[in-house]
Amino acid sequence: VDIATDIVIENVNEGTDTVQTALASYTLGNNVENLTYTGSASFIGAGNALDNTITGGAGNDTLNGGAGADSLIGGAGNDTYIVDNVGDIVTEAADVGTDTVRTNLASYTLADNVENLSFAGTGTFAGTGNNLDNTITGGAATDTLSGGAGNDTLDGGAGADSLIGGAGDDTYIVDHAGDTVTEATDEGTDTVRTALANYTLAANVENLTYTGAVAFAGTGNSLDNTIKGGAGADTLDGNAGADILIGAAGNDTYIVDNVGDVVTEGLNAGTDLIKTVLSSYTLGNNVENLLYTGSASFTGTGNALVNTITGGAGNDTLDGGAGNDTLDGGAGDDIYVVDSAGDVIKDSAGTDEIRTALAAYSIAALVNVENLTYTGSASFTGTGNALANIITGGAGN
C-alpha cells in the first residue's frame, strides 16, 4: 500500500494476510491480520479486531493492535506501544531507543528492553518494571508501582499510591499525602520529589527535593540526607545523620542536630535561621540568625552578616563576628563577645560579661550585665553601670 486512498479487501477466513506500507500512518481493514512498515521515518500503525502482528521500522513508531491478542514489534527508534489486551506481546530489541508502553489494563509488567510504562485507564493499576531504568506513571486511582532493578522513576499521579523502587537509584514523585514509598536497605541512593507542603522521608530513602512554590517543611530520617527547599519560607530538618540542607530563596529555617550537618544558602536569598541543640555552632555563609534550642551551655558564633544569636538557659558564649549583631543570652551566666560598635546586647538573668577589643565600651545602658573585659592590646576606656561591676583592662593605658 503506497497511496493513502488504496483499499484492501479481504474476506473472512481467507488466509493470513499482510499489508506492507511506507505511508506515515495506516490502519488495517477488516480481515487483514498483519501490518509491516517499509519506510524509514516514524510510523503510526493500528490494527483491527483480529490478532494482529504490527511491525515498525527505524523511526519513532506508535503501534496499536486494537482488540485482539496482538504482537507489536517496534524495531529501532523511540517507540510507543498501545497495549489493551492481556494477550498483547511487545517485542523490542536491546539498545534501540527509549520505548514506552501505554496501557489501560489493570496490571502490566514491562517486557525486556522496554523502558517506560504509562497507565491510560481510570481504575486501579499495578505496574511493574524490569532491569532497565524505568519511568512508570500511574493514573487517578490508587496505584501500586514497582520499579524492580535499575534507576527507576515512579509517579503514581493522583490517588494514594504505593511506590516500590527496588534496587538502583530510584526517584519517587509524591503528589498525594497518602502516597507510600517503600525502599529496602542498601538499594541505591534514592530521592523523593514532592510538591506537598510537608513531607517526612521514609526509611532507606536518602534525598528529598521540594518542587512546589510555597513554604515547605521537609524532614529526613536516620540516613545522611540531602533536603532541598524551594522559593518559599522552608523548614528543613535532616534528623539524625550528617545531612545537607539547601534552602534556596525565602526565609528558611534549618534544624541542625548533627555536627556533620551542612547548611547551604544562597546570597541575598532571604533572612535565614539555624535552630540547634549542639553545644557549639558557627553560622556558615549567607545565614543570618542562630537560635539555641537545648538546655545546657552553648557557644554560638556568627559571620560577616548582621546576625541575631540567641542562647538558652545555660552559661552561653555568644560572638556575632563582623556585622552589627544582636546577642541574647537568656538565662545563665553569659559571655558576649562584642566586636562591632553597633552590636546590641540583650540579657535578662545571671552574672554576665562583655568581652571586647573596641577602644571604648560602656555597659551603662545594659541593666543586666555586670562585667566588662578588654581583650585588645591598645588603650581602653571602659564604663560600668549601676550594678556591682568588674571591669578589666589590658596592657594599654
Q: Which residues contact 5 (CB under 8 A, 6 or more apart)?
A: none
Q: Which residues contact 158 (CB under 8 A, 6 or more apart)?
A: 139, 140, 141, 175, 176
Q: Is residue 93 part of a domain?
A: yes
How far is Cα 285 from Cα 5, in angstroms, rounded to an integer? 70
Q: Is residue 109 part of a domain?
A: no
Question: Other C-beta atoms within 10 Å of 259: how many?
Answer: 11
Q: Which of 97, 113, 129 is the last residue of a domain?
A: 97
Task: Answer whether 28's CB lies under 8 Å from 44's CB.
Answer: no
Q: Which of 52, 69, 97 is the last residue of a domain?
A: 97
The number of CA neighbours under 13 Å toward the Cβ of 192 is: 31
Q: Is residue 304 part of a domain?
A: yes
Q: Which of 51, 73, 97 is the last residue of a domain?
A: 97
Closest CA to 247 of 281, 287, 292, 299: 287
Q: Is residue 210 part of a domain?
A: no
Q: Is residue 72 part of a domain?
A: yes
Q: Is residue 36 part of a domain?
A: yes
| Number of independent structural domains in the chain | 2
Residue 193 C-alpha cell reads as 520529589
Record the pTM: 0.92
Digitized pLDDT (tens) for each residue of the chain, 397 residues in all? 999 999 999 999 999 999 999 999 999 999 999 999 999 999 999 999 999 999 999 999 999 999 999 999 999 999 999 999 999 999 999 999 999 999 999 999 999 999 999 999 999 999 999 999 999 999 999 999 999 999 999 999 999 999 999 999 999 999 999 999 999 999 999 999 999 999 999 999 999 999 999 999 999 999 999 999 999 999 999 999 999 999 989 999 999 999 999 999 999 999 999 999 999 999 999 999 999 999 999 999 999 999 999 999 999 999 999 999 999 999 999 999 999 999 999 988 899 999 999 999 999 999 999 999 999 999 999 999 999 999 999 999 9
State the residue range of the domain holding 393: 294-397
Res 347: pLDDT: 83
Q: Is residue 111 part of a domain?
A: no
Q: Is residue 274 part of a domain?
A: no
Task: Answer whether 77's CB lies under 8 Å from 60's CB.
Answer: yes
What does residue 216 show for φ and ψ, rounded to 5 degrees? -135, 140
Q: Which residues contact 15 (CB under 8 A, 6 or more apart)?
A: none
Extract the runs of DSSP E, i.e. beta strands, from 74-151: 80-83, 89-91, 100-103, 107-109, 116-119, 126-128, 135-137, 144-146
How far is Cα 28 from Cα 273, in angstroms, rounded to an integer? 66
